[in-house]
A and B are shown apart, each in its own frame.
Chain A
């Protein structure tokens, strides 16, 4: 059930340049029944000139504390106002949105998680969930710009972690696929989130190596619930909603099987 809920900030910190971690706690009586890795929520800046929620992926869900963790990059005044929140502040949230990854399809397999930049945070929840599934082997290959890393401790706690940096200051010099090749990582299935050029390369790599891949897409959104048709992606088959070739990223996505979407 989707809801607009007033959340309380329980933790706020800067992890790297322009990268912020925020924990939001639900009111006791208003918790979601289920949160899947790869799902997201819409956070509303406390600013009446800004009406749209900011779609931000869930980095961690702690059902015991009723607490969601978000790690986001500031990209403008809206996300900057979110970064300015402090412990105890209130923030409105629309959630839980999107489909997420399906752990059942990944269980018992060698799963390769690929995260690039601000696509890294949802991989933390996914790695944590997968690490509890029997026989599931998780390798996380994360791509950063430089040595200003974030979320590595969380990832290495539940996965074999490999790092790629654009400037070569840590791990493999290059992108996540360079690190996969350099370390000869073998996998049965890939889950990826990151910038579009990375996702295009992952889609090609997965098709070339005959491995299924689930990729999480991003687009400018308005409603977040599938009504406005703002955030669509081209699809190979006719989509279920509009019967054209445009699936709604907020509703049918953000996670798609790579073969379903035409991302060029």
Chain B
């Protein structure tokens, strides 16, 4: 009886097709990914079950870092310039047009109103969490002026007020920002969070299950 011949060669799999698929998906994800730009003010966001995506247009971003310092960033450069001009006239800060121009090109505003002149002379790379932050005491709340000027500029156009707070930031900083918003009849805003799964067994979980 003839014995069956067992091939000694190791079975070889053609990897070409798999390689094609891998790189096709890879190129798709590379093109579809928007990498986060490095942030000047590092903030660790809290988690929430909210599925609403944070807006990325017309954003007026108020950042509260871990030391409770408050920073303001406005996306639209032209509007930012008008806002700085507005703040300048509201509080008669005496900024020159050159200084306003420089401030509107900077990514973030992180000094009390009286120190805006000094910030306009700073380089972009110095605009980090080392800045003193705005003064947000209940007696002297800079945010009120900023939000008033922002409202005046954004009147009639959509504006997304977004608050991005650090996990360990103390509540009073957050409260003064809310107070400043409320004082300017700005009652709706969004808090940036990291998405998190809905805990099983909760009411929201039951509600989602039915869908």
Chains A and B come from one and the same complex:
no
A: which residues have CB within 8 A of B?
A: none
